[in-house]
Chain A
Amino acid sequence: MIRFTQVHKRYPGGYQALKNVSFEIAAGEMVFLTGHSGAGKSTLLKLIAAIERPNLGSVLVNHQNVGALKERALPFLRRNLGIIFQDHKLLFDRNVFDNVMLPLQICGFDYRESNKRVRAALDKVGLLKREKSNPIELSGGEQQRLCIARAIVNRPAILLADEPTGNLDTGYAQEIMAIFKSFHQVGVTLLISTHDETVLQNNDVRVLALKQGELQTTSTGSGLTAATGSGQA
């Protein structure tokens, strides 16, 4: 589903964010991406959504070379991805319902059907009762869940989450992890970045660990394995 082959990313300022990163994620896998801040987690996710492009190497998403996509093809790539942003990127000029509606509007989805889908997505993250609220009235955890609802309303095959539990206390974080697990169970491919090691201890999943832009290991759960580069759990 997602394959990185010897990917290098250097930002215009000269900062080398990723060095020779190679890995592969199969369809339906749930993978965690770990590392300290500045290790290149966000950059890696941005490369998948073609928000940034690699300087070297190739990024394949669904057999498409994302790095070489034309500008006008990008919207259609992104419609297949659900992205949960570190800074949420919610719109405060409209209510919760309309925030979740936006991706469906963009795809030109049938109006009646989209209403149902928005409610289903809000129900999934437990925000159905807040649909008329402005996102600004929501707590941090609720905003995060709203962001998840917006990412999944399109029913994307791949879900990318950048530090979804970053600023949340443990209770909220576990709630959100439970939501991700339920997506995993219905076959969605998930790539979740986190610096929160406690999340990993309770989950027996594959981990990609980044350190200063380099992929360290591929591990399962809290126990590290020696395999590097591309691999599959």
Chain B
Amino acid sequence: MRHALAQNIGLLRRMFASPLAGILNILVIGIALSLPAGMYVLLQNAESLIAQLSGTPQISLFLGMDAKADDIDKLQKQLEQHAAIAHVEFVARAQALEQLKQSTGLADVIGGLNQNPLPDAFIVYPKPSSAQALEALRNELAKLPKVEQAQLDSAWAYKLEAMLKFGRMVVLILASLLSLALVAVTFNTIRLQILTQRDEIEVAKLIGATNGFIRRPFLYFGATQGLLGGIMAWFIITISLLLLNHQLNALAQLYVSQFVLHSLSLGDSLTLLLFSMYLGWLGAWLSVARHLSQIKPH
């Protein structure tokens, strides 16, 4: 163990013998990783925002102005017995007007009206189902007697969801390509390392080093470089989000709301670090497998 330690310390010492090259490599890896990982973070935030905004989808049924109380009762019973509906809430037109007055600053305008322009309405909470089923339910409810208009409130959420799916695919493609780049960077770095340590490898082979012994420090080097690149990416993302949040805060205040971008969770951070470490290791492994066999003692 002590030997392995000494061997690796020696390796790290040589690695830091040219710190600029090492730092540049780590920076390249960090930036390459921070792009897909950063997009992933933004997507995560968008997803949680949508979940927060849409909650459960609802269908608003606006009734005709001529709907009488017993029409409404009949409709309510019908809706409550419907298999696809979880529960129903009735909003009387007077109540709706009151709400409108309170929630917006339009009290003056509304007070100037000589009659209530709002219809009676039902808010229907469907049982959880697909976008298509909800659309079908909306169509069905629109045909009920006395129903003027049926509006599926969460339609936009589904559209956004589809966009998110698209975004996720972009992240996946970007992540795959940049992972490949990371492997390539490590492959090349290790190739150069092997070339500069040709003498040492040759001597080690001559005095009985196994391939595993020779391979090990290069694999450690690749993994370490990958890990440091991952840490770099983590910092890039965290600092970028701090800067973005600062601006976002100013923006949100204009809308009298509170919105904060969340950074990588602990699990995601660990995944990022492990993944970048693995990619570094893989690049080193490929490079070592390719180049070590070319060094034959003579």
Contacts and interface: CB of A to CB of B under 8 A. Distances in A.
A178 interface: no
Q: Give chain A's interface secondary structure class.
A: helix
A72 B211 contact: yes
Interface residues of B, number: 22
Contacts of A104: 3
Given A93-B200, A109-B3, A78 B207 contact: yes
B206 A83 contact: yes
A89 B247 CA distance: 62
Most buried by A among B3, B7, B200, B213: B3
A103 B207 contact: yes
B74 to A, nearest CB: 87
B3 A91 contact: no
Interface residues of A, number: 32
Contacts of B203: 89, 91, 102
Contacts of A46: 298
B208 A106 contact: yes
Contacts, number: 63
B46 interface: no
B209 interface: yes
B208 A107 contact: yes
A46 B297 CA distance: 10
Q: What 6 A-B pairs come out closest when comparing CB atoms?
A: A111-B2, A79-B208, A78-B208, A105-B3, A106-B209, A75-B208
Given A75-B205, A83-B207, A108-B3, 17 more contacts: A49-B206, A52-B298, A75-B209, A78-B207, A85-B206, A89-B203, A102-B204, A103-B207, A104-B3, A105-B7, A106-B207, A111-B1, A111-B2, A111-B6, A150-B207, A154-B207, A154-B208
